[in-house]
Structure formats: structure tokens, C-alpha cells
Amino acid sequence: MREIGHWIDGKMVAGTSGRTADVFNPATGEVQAKVALASKAELDAAIASAAKAQVAWGATNPQRRARVMMALVGLLNRDMDKMAEMLSSEHGKTFPDAKGDIQRGLEVIEYCIG
């Protein structure tokens, strides 16, 4: 069974609390993954990592930020079908609806880029 950990400091890390929650496919009701429930230490590490990243991002010039966001647009376009499949299976959306949600998110990013 797929296990979902935590994204901390730029990498996926397994949970250490020993606690998990089921991730259900709403269309079938079956458990499709387990998600790790964070310990206090994992939560603190994630918050510290995010705060550190925000300082670095805030110091990045707007032109570089736009390039990073353009690269994100490229990745989202490249992996749109894969992401739509995940969104569909985890939220019970039809594939076209899930793909539309991702497309709308892309439009927001493109608007922010300018």
C-alpha cells in the first residue's frame, strides 16, 4: 500500500509518530494509501523549513521568481494527466473535472507571473 509521508526541507520524509490515517477513494470506498500523522517534532521541522524558505524566496528578485513560476507552469503542464488522476482518485472528481481544476490553477499562476 502506498504510504504518504511529509514534505520537509525539500524532501519527502517518512513519519515517525507511528500513527497513520487512511486515504479513501471516494468513488469506490476502498483505502488506497496511508498518510503519516505528524509528530510535534515533524510539525516543528516543517514550520521551521517553511519559514526559512520564505526568507530566501522574499530575497529573490522578481525576475528570478517569475522564472521559477514559469518552470512550475511547465511541470504542471507536463504532469497534468498524472495529477488529474491523483485528484480524481483522492477527491472523487471525474477526470475532466480534476483536469479543469488544475487548468484553473495554472491560469492563476500565469496571471501572477504577468
Per residue in 62-85, pLDDT tens?
999 999 999 999 999 999 999 999
Report pTM.
Answer: 0.79
Q: What is the pLDDT of residue 81?
A: 98
Domain ranges of the chain: 1-59, 60-114
Residue 114: predicted pLDDT: 85
Q: What is the mean pLDDT of each run of 10 residues along the chain (114 residues)?
A: 95 96 92 97 98 97 96 98 94 94 97 91
Task: Report the distance separating Cα 109 and Cα 51, nearest Å.
Answer: 22
Exposure pattern of 26-36 as b/e (b: 16+ CB <10 Å)? Answer: eeeeeeebbbb
What pLDDT shows up at residue 83? Answer: 96
